[in-house]
Amino acid sequence: MMNISSGNSSNCFDFALDHLDWINKTLKFQLDFYIQNLKIGICLLKTFYLYIKKCRRRRSNHFEEKGDAKSDSLRLSSISFRIRNLVRGITHGLDSAFFIYIRSSVSDHSDIKSELARFEENMRLFFDSDIKEFKIISLLLYDSLRDLQLVVDFIDSISENLKHLYSTYYEFDEDLKIVMLALQEKLMHLKTFIRFATLQGVEGVQLKDLLVHVEVVAVNAASLICRSLFQRDDKQVCNEMKTEISQLIHKKIDPVDLQVRETYIHVLAASKLSGSSYTLAMKENKHQLAEFIDYLLHSLMEIIESYTCFLVPVKEKMLKLHEGVRFLIILLSRQQEKFDELNEEIKDLIGVVVSDVGIVIFSLSVNEMKEGLSKEIDLALSHLVEVFKLIIAEVGHIYPLPSSSSLSFPRTNELGSLDFLLQTLKELSSSTADSIAFPNDQICTILEDLVFLRSFLGNIVEQRSRNEKLQALWSRIMKVAYSVEFEIDSALVGDQHEHSLDAFAGDIKHMKMEAEEIYNSIRYDDETDRA
């Protein structure tokens, strides 16, 4: 469990967690489930305690404590005091129960188990009263800290708690698990955004606005986690959680809301103005740059997959942008020698183009995707395509791409992209090289299935725009094709990660079966019409 680093005033939390681990090991993990429940509750308490402590300190440093301000400060002080007492009470109570267990001849752990359950109930009551009833969330957000390290640590803590929740309690509630996984991923994306902004030398108002925004998201996410943990057996609460987590993602994280979009765009615009010292920092932290590009790639794929009814020329431009961003991922993912040998102008250009890609992605609205791009965005996309051509050509001079690579740029359309992948798979299936760790029989099976799907897509080009089911299948096929292509290209350029096509092979097989059903249905309808 990841905890936020703290000073001596929060030692009671670490002591309680260590004490629980000791008891768990002593009892040979026979009460592991109950102890883990208590540990996640303590971690949440620690998160709120440190946050409240920072708020109190900022309030005393920046505000003259009179009237409501003084009252709020006293409320924060009282709540932080009760949090410490609650955690210390857990440690003392467990000590007493464990001492009784050791001295008695009882072989079960009923007393200790009942103590663990009692402490969990005490925490639930505390969150219901002090956190929820006293509206501590809104009070904390009023005193937003703009503390970069605290926000980053806060996100890490929430992410670990989310993992525990969906892996322990919501394993069989697939819908809730999916939104929790999405929230965890989105929070880590925000952390990546903050790291990129600071790496690029963003400071002042733009960085503060981003930190405030992420802080609001993190505090609200922590509040939702509390409800999820302490009311996990309430089906109505679980259903509410799905809605509230989805709304948090849609309204506060994804660039749908105008204010959110503007915050992101202003930060990226500021990142382009950084000096050479920040460019050097970017070069020395290529993994952070790669993480942010991966975030942009995810965002772009969500746009392409979500809006299936936008104009074909728009989608083709998005495809070209996708290919350029994907190339940067491959270049920067553990390919330091390739990046390092580029000339300084190209390295600087990569830093700028990443910001430009983000600005374009976050500038897109639903109406633009459906009705056509604005002139400004259209020109920005055309410029990015030319820049990507330049970067890829420069890399090609230093490291000629393998003949089996499908990194040709730009692609003409989605079917053209799929044709490139099929050519790559054909070359791999006939290759005797041992450098690519993909089983030949798996490559041949995927190739055979994709050949069928390529033919199927070619036959429904005209029909898909009038049939939502066909359009959805088209999007799913292209998504898995991009994923297979990325996995193969990563291996071809020497990425040392372990590569596997197992999951993709299963998805492709399933989509082939679905396409066969649709094809047979269409053929049957045609024969019926002719009769």
All structural domains of the chain with their residue ranges: 9-143, 146-274, 285-400, 404-531
For the segment 428-443, the average pLDDT, to the nearest whole number, is: 71
Q: Produce one character per residue of 217-227: b if its CB has 16 or more CB atoms within 10 Å, e if not.
A: bbbbbbbbbbb
Confidence of residue 34 (pLDDT cuts 50, 70, 90): confident
Q: Which of 16-20, 380-384, 437-441 has the lowest mean pLDDT?
A: 437-441
More confident residue, 446 or 57: 446
Cα angle, residue 220 at apex, residues 85 and 241 outer, rounded to 5°: 100
Identify which has the larger pLDDT, 253 or 4: 253
Closest to 311 in 3D by CA, of 410, 389, 413: 413
Contact, 212 vs 146, CB < 8 A?
yes
Mean pLDDT for 331-356 is 76
The pLDDT > 70 percentage for the chain reads 73
Q: Is the pLDDT of residue 406 over 80?
A: no
Q: What is the mean pLDDT of residues 129-146?
A: 54
Mean pLDDT, range 198-216, rounded to an integer: 85
pLDDT, residue 336, reads 60
Residue 405 pLDDT grade (very low, low, confident, very high; cuts 50, 70, 90):
very low
Q: What is the pLDDT of residues 211-247, one digit of tens each?
A: 888 888 888 888 788 777 766 667 787 788 889 999 9
Inform me whether the pLDDT recorded for 139 exceeds 80: no
pLDDT tens, residue by residue, 304-338: 666 555 566 666 777 778 878 888 877 776 456 66
Termini Cα distance of the chain: 67
The full DSSP string for 351-386 is HHHHHHHHHHHHH--HHHHHH---HHHHHHHHHHHH
| pLDDT in the model for residue 9 | 53
Q: What is the mean pLDDT of residues 379-396?
A: 82
pLDDT of residue 133: 47
Q: Residue 520, SS3?
A: helix
Mean pLDDT of 420-445: 76
Average pLDDT rounded to a whole number, residues 36-62? 73
Confidence of residue 194 (pLDDT cuts 50, 70, 90): very high
User: Which pLDDT does position 187 carry in this prediction?
Assistant: 92
Residue that wins the pLDDT comparison between 490 and 138? 490
Amino acid 97: pLDDT? 81
What span, in angstroms and rounded, lies between the C-alpha atoms of 429 and 433? 10
User: Is 1 a residue whose pLDDT tops 50?
Assistant: no
pLDDT of residue 6: 39
Mean pLDDT of the chain, nearest integer: 76
Residue percentage of the chain with pLDDT more than 90: 6
